[in-house]
Structure 1
């Protein structure tokens, strides 16, 4: 999985043919809740046929397709078809509204769209806005869309496919601080991250035919796309959750003897809130690796998970852009609590506002050198903002290095609160409030203050059975003041029924801030150049 300039990933053709020949009736992947499954022989044949269908419709190497589906049985079949004939594929969140979907479909230049009737909007904007594309409907019937199963039957099952560069994902940023942007890589080097270097530290990323991987997130996210494809590439079997449920996840580990799994911190919190009896009801002894990423994990949450599951947690910090990646195992984390690890390739640099290197312990913008280059599709200005004069790249996060070179995340640069000239990073305050027994979820944001410019406010979603009150608000403020310096503590607390998060657990701060600031003030802060 680590970047290696000399590494060559096994080709999609070779992987599927090898796996189908070795175990034709073996399960390539299964959907947990529905019980549906796809064998290696079926995946090999159907993805080949789908690739032939797209070629017959005129798509050629380097073209793009868009996939706007629920967690569907045929989802990964479409991705493998794109890999086989050198196509880019963009997976679109099924929760987006029609204008958001159309923005991504148009921006990525998709020539084909796969969707279903239940995702079409009532006023027909998606049907009208995608006219001219090759469109396929996998469930139901949509005017102007071809029935996918019927279309597959128009090409022979044993069709020969041309020798092309391998296709790859064309993922979009989650848009937590603005419009999503596509990250596009040259096909010749795009799949190098599927190759694991022989590094003892990276053993948790090594998959084989004995791997059983539990995928807990929606299929369209970058991590499920890349990790499931990598597991299947190596001959492992995937167990895909159509929707996350803490008890169902534990039951799946026991039933399918899951060896590897992937999580986000909010899932850990839901697991930890199960009763002791619910936790002990399932045999988890097969689980060797529990990977987590996507959002910072509070120290108390990770410590509790290691206490429960043992030292099998592996954390990585990266982004869709893949300009750099750090990671660490449980033993390293226990020696460096709160860290997100050391670089897997290249180096990490912490720079101040003036671009100068900062010493250990001093927070600044996190920059990576030595990683693969990328560009934001159609946005050279935004691409330039991600790089500095040295050619180093950033995700726009704030952090620091300790004396041993381990990286710690402080917050997103765009989330920074400036109060009276003092920089405040709200993540630390959120972690403290999250430990209070009444708090289910929390966002800490800066709100207008006439004297200081901004002040700290906590927006709290309470746990079931808790009622908002002035007394509870003051209790939460006092809870913070007992554990943090006053400048980091909220001066006020608002209560809300729910907080906006993506399904990977990322908090949409811009949505929270919007209630307190004029629209113009909610524009995200760009990382310094």
Structure 2
């Protein structure tokens, strides 16, 4: 970077991959030529008010209240002053955020980044152990937490004393809440003059080892991504109202439900509780939503409801998070008349890099490389394979993978190319057809689940001697978690034990990771050296299975 870093806390900078393991960054398009000094919140929020004329336009919507861009900018400035003044944080410090999708969560995230701090948004379903792993790796001293989700974070804090302060939000009547601390602060404060390559966020994701990985994303990365898929494929407008289910803790949700709408001057509606397929259709109708984001599983469940009730305001439906079956695309199109906008992306590069919309959609294909990105299908040596041949996806663009202090960097980036771990086929016209994950990640209803993490939870149960977890194809969820368990002597593999094991996993790690199918086996397939042969467990067979 040519502009000096504003982040005096160098914890993250000092733990970036070595130069030889970094991806190649390409900024080929004119719109990707960004200045060396920028703060993404200043660009997307402050200038929305001061330079773009959007100050009085709605930005964040909830039942009973709407924040304009001017309202949001003022509250973000007030919270930023709490962080740097009352809490004494300095640029480069990490701040953990815990909350569901809400205006309060969005405003807190923006304030953290505006102040030059590094945001670590976490899934609301995470348990104390998982939060503890994230805290241990990223070393935040302050957390901002929805008051309704404090218990697990406070439990994690007991084992991670580096987290010195937890401040609750979504609790305006509490005297020590974030809202109360922000009252009376100035309505405007200058953004921290971060370098473009200063760090904006750590987006933790689970790998196939189950150990959390932390892709590092800079201010430049976020704004560069705004100039790719949102500009060339999505094409949102200031009149759009965006709705969706992906959590803000996922970069799919953070981009789709906050960053990209702000870039377009649009607004976002946050529901006051988790969506069901019916409640999302109803919300689309009630607020007049024009763009929706959710996983294919949810669209499939929404289709008959949308067909019955109608969604006349909706014009774009974005599907990502898992492979989109063509049957689901056609079902949604029959129900709504909308050609679904599919895409594949990843936390490591923030968002979508292969996609297609409208007349560019080709049946069965995810799409083409998004402008700004180059994609190819290669063999194990990195050589491009002939069209129509299955190989590994490799991409280069303005954003690339940088893991925080993680040897898995060498697996993701090879010779400057990013390898997301997906198997694809490319046709002669440049369309990419998804085949499968190239690793052991289980993607179920849009959630990434590492099998070894579930295995670790199961092995903590006294009845389990050995276990292995794989993903099993499922028409409804894409995949479901299936566990194969070898029991200790004296235990019977019946329905009661299945439920006990499922409840145990739900209580140990995030509940969505629990095995929906459990099979009891006498032994697990292994090589002579003792290595587990997972591929044998994925093969269809007659293994007894219980699915409560």
* TM-score, normalised with respect to structure 2: 0.70
Which one of 311, 326, 329 corresponds to residue 357 of structure 2?
329
Q: Distance in 2 between matches of 1:164 and 1:148?
A: 24
Aligned to 1:341: 367
**Which residues in structure 2 correspond to 1:308-319 (within 5 Å)?**
308-319=335-346
Q: Distance in 1 between matches of 2:224 and 2:252?
A: 15
Q: Which runs of 5+ in 2 are unaligned?
A: 1-25, 443-469, 486-494, 496-500, 507-511, 536-548
Q: Distance in 2 between matches of 1:117 and 1:411?
A: 39
Aligned to 2:106: 76
Which one of 41, 50, 73 corresponds to residue 70 of structure 2?
41
| 1:356 Cα deviation after fit | 3.8
Q: Distance in 2 between matches of 1:23 and 1:366?
A: 40
Aligned to 1:229: 259
Aligned to 1:383: 409
Which one of 285, 294, 298 corresponds to residue 263 of structure 1?
294
1:413 and 1:17, CA in 2 relative to 1: closer, same or farther beyond 3 A?
A: closer
The answer to whether the 8 A contact 1:65-1:112 is kept is: yes
| 1:340 Cα deviation after fit | 0.8
Q: Secondary structure at the match of 1:42?
A: helix
| 1:41 Cα deviation after fit | 3.2
The answer to whether the 8 A contact 2:78-2:186 is kept is: yes
1:521 and 1:118, CA in 2 relative to 1: closer, same or farther beyond 3 A?
A: farther
1:179 aligns with 2:179: no
Q: Distance in 2 between matches of 1:524 and 1:65?
A: 38
The answer to whether the 8 A contact 2:233-2:356 is kept is: no
Aligned pair count reads 446
| 1:236 Cα deviation after fit | 1.0
1:148 aligns with 2:174: no
**Which residues in structure 2 correspond to 1:241-280 (within 5 Å)?**
241=271, 242-274=273-305, 279-280=307-308
Q: Secondary structure at the match of 1:321?
A: helix
Q: Distance in 1 between matches of 2:393 and 2:319?
A: 20
Q: Distance in 2 between matches of 1:36 and 1:180?
A: 36
Deviation sequence 1:272-305 (CA, Å, 0-9, x none): 344xxx62323x2322211111100111111121
Aligned to 1:90: 120
Tell me: higher relative CO, structure 1 or 2? Use CA pairs within 8 A at least 6 residues apart: 2
The answer to whether the 8 A contact 1:177-1:414 is kept is: no
* TM-score, normalised with respect to structure 1: 0.72
1:523 and 1:514, CA in 2 relative to 1: closer, same or farther beyond 3 A?
A: farther
CA RMSD of superposed structures (Å): 4.1
Aligned to 2:488: none
Q: Distance in 2 between matches of 1:401 and 1:362?
A: 7
Aligned to 1:109: 139
Q: Distance in 2 between matches of 1:351 and 1:183?
A: 23
Q: Distance in 2 between matches of 1:171 and 1:6?
A: 25
Q: Distance in 2 between matches of 1:83 and 1:124?
A: 24
Deviation sequence 1:32-73 (CA, Å, 0-9, x none): xx5443333331111101111111133222222110123344
Aligned to 1:191: 223
1:523 and 1:52, CA in 2 relative to 1: closer, same or farther beyond 3 A?
A: farther
Deviation sequence 1:422-456 (CA, Å, 0-9, x none): xxxx99x93xx62xxxx7875497979xxxxxxxx
Q: Distance in 1 between matches of 2:159 and 2:343?
A: 38
1:93 and 1:362, CA in 2 relative to 1: closer, same or farther beyond 3 A?
A: same
Aligned to 1:54: 83
Q: Distance in 2 between matches of 1:122 and 1:285?
A: 41
* Deviation larger for 289-298 or 219-228: 219-228
Q: Distance in 2 between matches of 1:373 and 1:320?
A: 10
1:313 and 1:198, CA in 2 relative to 1: closer, same or farther beyond 3 A?
A: closer
1:511 and 1:146, CA in 2 relative to 1: closer, same or farther beyond 3 A?
A: farther
* Deviation larger for 68-77 or 323-332: 323-332
Q: Secondary structure at the match of 1:315?
A: strand
Aligned to 2:396: 369
Q: Distance in 1 between matches of 2:54 and 2:230?
A: 26
Q: Secondary structure at the match of 1:110?
A: coil
| 1:117 Cα deviation after fit | 4.4
1:253 and 1:69, CA in 2 relative to 1: closer, same or farther beyond 3 A?
A: closer
The answer to whether the 8 A contact 1:64-1:88 is kept is: yes
Q: Secondary structure at the match of 1:104?
A: helix
| 1:207 Cα deviation after fit | 2.9
Q: Distance in 2 between matches of 1:399 and 1:514?
A: 31
Q: Which runs of 5+ in 1 are unaligned?
A: 418-425, 449-467, 469-495, 502-506
Q: Secondary structure at the match of 1:399?
A: strand
Q: Distance in 1 between matches of 2:230 and 2:322?
A: 27
Q: Distance in 2 between matches of 1:257 and 1:154?
A: 35
